[in-house]
């Protein structure tokens, strides 16, 4: 009896301790200020990461790009080994400074990051490198990115601007929040609209002959169909456009994408690079070394399928386009390459169309490849063939022939 009562007391105390500690922990938050001073004359950004709070992370490992991040400085313990910098913040305020080189030229000679006297286009997830954080349990962050730029410059980022050039960073699921996605700053022009609940902005350097309105109208017409497939589509979308010498193609990022201004909205083979990149933004999936064909195949399939659904192309033209992709796909010997492009992506898109047909006929049109794509988007991260098969089988209610060993075999 006494023992029993003692047990109850201990249980009560334990429960009380757990509750009270979780209540006090939940309130613990520290602030991260990313401050980037843009210096067009030197082609760099001077970056300052400032932490403030009663409790700070014990250890932060920055995964640097040695060609672009340099001159790291802090009064806290800092250890740099190759591309890893280990920063151990101390006290209730800690600061790390470094320099970031903005220009990045690809082997082809074109740029995927560039600064000129009038504007800059770059990715914030390169400006601020990936950071692995060791945080006490329950500690969370609130983060802002503040830009300091030449007079007459303005900024477009896929984040809420809370005051002049200061952006509140959303980074769901991350306790140490960090900005991600494209940004454009400088003398820029932009057009915006709310499309299917998505605050959409198309921005480009001023002066270039760039058709922002055409792109926005195209989004008005197709983004709602994309959002129907992916209801979790980000609430903000930034489309950055620019001409040469920027990279002649599309590149997706978090809540954002870059598209070269010379790329047509609909290509000769009737797929759309803009929709292709939108699907990458929507799914947030990547290959596991062998499954890039799934990532690229889905994006390319929807680049055509969304146009058909929005009335952009007729069923006949859609069939013709699929036949064209099928013919091109014959040239692909294997799907399981690290990077899927050209013929392999064409072959993969045709496989997606077959998967869709099979699921629709097996389910009496109650399910489609949309359920599979939504499932992958929900799980995000690295996609595997096993996971793709599992979701397709679930939607069809039976194994999907188009994903059998024979259908996917090398040839
Ligand atoms: Zn792609």
pLDDT band at 1 (very low <50, low <70, confident <90, very high): very low
What are phi and psi for residue 187, nearest 5 degrees?
A: -85, 95
Instruction: Give 293 Cα–ligand 1 centroid separation in angstroms.
Output: 9
Instruction: Give 20 Cα–ligand 1 centroid separation in angstroms.
Output: 48
Instruction: Give 84 Cα–ligand 1 centroid separation in angstroms.
Output: 29
pLDDT (mean) for 234-261: 96
pLDDT band at 7 (very low <50, low <70, confident <90, very high): low
Q: What is the pLDDT of residue 75?
A: 95
CA 324 to chain centre: 30
Instruction: Give 21 Cα–ligand 1 centroid separation in angstroms.
Output: 46
Residues listed for the chain: 411
CATH of span 31-263: 2.60.40.3650
pLDDT digits (tens, 9 = 90+) for 253-277: 999 999 999 999 999 889 999 999 9
- Which range has the worst mean pLDDT, 22-26, 182-186, 305-309? 22-26
Q: How far apart are CA 167 and CA 194, in angstroms?
A: 19
User: By the 8 A CB rule, do 358 and 402 touch?
Assistant: yes
Q: What is the pLDDT of residue 107?
A: 87
Q: What is the pLDDT of residue 5?
A: 52
169: which residues sit within 8 A by CB, 6+ positions away? 32, 34, 143, 144, 145, 159, 177, 178, 179
pLDDT (mean) for 316-341: 96
Q: What is the pLDDT of residue 4?
A: 53
Instruction: Give 247 Cα–ligand 1 centroid separation in angstroms.
Output: 14
Q: What is the pLDDT of residue 57?
A: 96
Q: In this prediction, what percent of the chain has a pLDDT beyond 90?
A: 89
- pTM for this predicted structure: 0.91
**What are 158-161's contacts with CB under 8 Å, separation 24+?**
158/182, 158/201, 158/234, 158/236, 158/237, 158/238, 158/254, 158/255, 158/256, 159/236, 160/236
Instruction: Give 118 Cα–ligand 1 centroid separation in angstroms.
Output: 30
| Domain boundaries along the sequence of the chain | 31-263, 276-408
pLDDT digits (tens, 9 = 90+) for 81-112: 999 999 999 999 999 999 999 999 998 899 99
Instruction: Give 294 Cα–ligand 1 centroid separation in angstroms.
Output: 10
Instruction: Give 277 Cα–ligand 1 centroid separation in angstroms.
Output: 6
Residue 67: Cβ within 10 Å count: 9
Q: Which residues pair with 50 in a beta bridge?
A: 33, 95
pLDDT (mean) for 29-47: 98
Q: Which carries the bigger pLDDT value, residue 184 or residue 20?
A: 184
Q: Which carries the bigger pLDDT value, residue 11 or residue 71?
A: 71
pLDDT digits (tens, 9 = 90+) for 337-358: 999 999 999 999 999 999 999 9
216-236 as b/e: b if 16+ CB within 10 A: bebbebbbbbbbebbeebbeb
pLDDT (mean) for 38-51: 98
Residue 381: Cβ within 10 Å count: 9
> Residue 27: exposed, middle, or buried by beta-carbon count in 10 A (0-12, 13-18, 19+)?
exposed
Q: What is the pLDDT of residue 380?
A: 87
Instruction: Give 79 Cα–ligand 1 centroid separation in angstroms.
Output: 37
pLDDT digits (tens, 9 = 90+) for 379-404: 889 999 999 999 999 999 999 999 99
Instruction: Give 63 Cα–ligand 1 centroid separation in angstroms.
Output: 25
pLDDT digits (tens, 9 = 90+) for 120-163: 999 999 999 999 999 999 999 999 999 999 999 999 999 999 99
pLDDT digits (tens, 9 = 90+) for 224-237: 999 999 999 999 99
Tokens of 370: 């949309």
Tokens of 404: 């059998």
Instruction: Give 127 Cα–ligand 1 centroid separation in angstroms.
Output: 23
Is it the case that residue 2 has pLDDT exceeding 50?
A: no
Q: What is the pLDDT of residue 209?
A: 81
Q: In this prediction, what percent of the chain has a pLDDT beyond 70?
A: 93
Is it the case that residue 21 has pLDDT exceeding 50?
A: no
Instruction: Give 280 Cα–ligand 1 centroid separation in angstroms.
Output: 7
Compute the mean pLDDT over every residue in the chain, rounded to the nearest whole number: 93
Q: What is the pLDDT of residue 23?
A: 47
Tokens of 209: 């002959």
Is it the case that residue 196 has pLDDT exceeding 80?
A: yes
């Amino acid at each position: 009896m006494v023992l029993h009562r003692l047990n109850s007391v201990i249980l009560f105390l334990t429960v009380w301790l757990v509750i009270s500690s979780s209540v006090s922990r939940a309130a613990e938050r520290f602030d991260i200020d990313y401050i980037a001073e843009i210096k067009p004359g030197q082609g760099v950004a001077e970056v300052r990461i400032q932490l403030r709070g009663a409790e700070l992370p014990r250890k932060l490992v920055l995964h640097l790009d040695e060609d672009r991040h340099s001159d790291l400085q802090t009064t806290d313990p800092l250890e740099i080994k190759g591309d890893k910098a280990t920063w151990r913040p101390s006290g209730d305020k800690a600061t790390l400074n470094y320099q970031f080189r903005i220009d990045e030229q690809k082997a082809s000679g074109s740029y995927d990051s560039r600064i000129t006297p009038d504007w800059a286009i770059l990715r914030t997830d390169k400006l601020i490198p990936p950071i692995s954080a060791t945080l006490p349990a329950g500690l969370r962050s609130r983060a802002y990115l503040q830009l300091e730029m030449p007079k007459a410059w303005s900024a477009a980022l896929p984040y809420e601007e809370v005051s002049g050039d200061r952006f509140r960073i959303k980074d769901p699921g991350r306790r140490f929040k960090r900005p991600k996605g494209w940004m454009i700053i400088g003398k820029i022009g932009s057009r915006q609209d709310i499309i299917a609940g998505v605050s959409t902005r198309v921005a480009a350097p001023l002066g270039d002959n760039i058709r922002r309105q055409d792109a926005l109208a195209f989004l008005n017409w197709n983004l709602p169909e994309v959002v129907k497939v992916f209801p979790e589509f980000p609430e903000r979308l930034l489309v950055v456009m620019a001409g040469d010498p920027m990279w002649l193609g599309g590149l997706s990022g978090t809540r954002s994408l870059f598209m070269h201004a010379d790329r047509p909205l609909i290509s000769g083979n009737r797929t759309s690079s803009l929709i292709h990149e939108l699907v990458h933004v929507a799914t947030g999936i990547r290959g596991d070394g062998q499954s890039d064909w799934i990532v690229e195949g889905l994006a390319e399939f929807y680049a055509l399928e969304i146009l058909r659904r929005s009335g952009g192309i007729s069923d006949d033209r859609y069939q013709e386009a699929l036949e064209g992709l099928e013919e091109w796909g014959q040239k692909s010997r294997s799907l399981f390459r690290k990077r899927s492009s050209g013929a392999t992506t064409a072959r993969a898109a045709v496989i997606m169309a077959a998967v869709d047909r099979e699921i629709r006929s097996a389910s009496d049109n109650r399910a489609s490849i949309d359920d599979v794509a939504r499932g992958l988007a929900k799980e995000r991260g690295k996609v595997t063939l096993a996971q793709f098969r599992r979701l397709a089988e679930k939607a069809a209610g039976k194994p999907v022939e188009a994903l059998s060993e024979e259908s996917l075999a090398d040839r």
